[in-house]
Amino acid sequence: MRVLGIDPGLRFLGWGVIDVDGSRLRHVANGICESGQGTLAARLLSLHVQLSGIFRTWQPELAAVEQTFVNKDAAGTLKLGQARGIAMLVPAQFGLDVGEYAPNTVKKTVVGVGHADKRQVDHMVKMQLPGVKIAGPDAADALAIAICHARHVGGRDLRMLA
């Protein structure tokens, strides 16, 4: 079963693909979509086009996205929410339901601690996916989201979810 994790962001949207076979996880690919410069609409379109290409290339059967947290900057939170909308729209366009996980749930599942820092997440992703070369912190987070989704649906038959 192929799982895609997405770490939504307007400037940098991280993505990571893993294969799951029982309790075994294998890294497939990871990267970062950059929205570039321009209007908000153009940047969102860029993320949509790039993420759609990732779906066509890697053909995931399951997808998961990190939930948005609200911070003090309302405008920044709104923009992040719009990027998250793209992260949920693209899997839906490819016929997939989207798992959603709070950041603390992802960290607790992957690291064992709900308030782990980025270095700890990166380290544990590398431990669970030996030999992985991670494109950056956003890609590490996306791989962690994919691992989290695989672990949370692991008790169920993954094939029934696809």
Catalytic: which of 7, 73, 97, 100?
7
CA 17 from centroid of its chain's CA atoms: 8
Residue 97 known to be catalytic: no
State the Cα torsion 55-109-134-158 to the nearest 10°: -30
Residue 66 known to be catalytic: yes
What are the strands of the beta sheet with 98-101, ordered from one edge?
A: 24-34, 12-21, 2-7, 62-66, 98-101
- Contact between residue 140 and residue 14 where contact means Cβ atoms under 8 Å apart: yes
Residue 122 known to be catalytic: no
Catalytic: which of 19, 21, 61, 66?
66
Catalytic: which of 19, 61, 73, 138?
138
Give the 3-state DSSP-derived string for 56-105, with helices as H, strands as E and coil as C: HHHCCCEEEEECCCCCCCHHHHHHHHHHHHHHHHHHHHCCCCEEEECHHH
Enumerate the active-site residues.
7, 66, 138
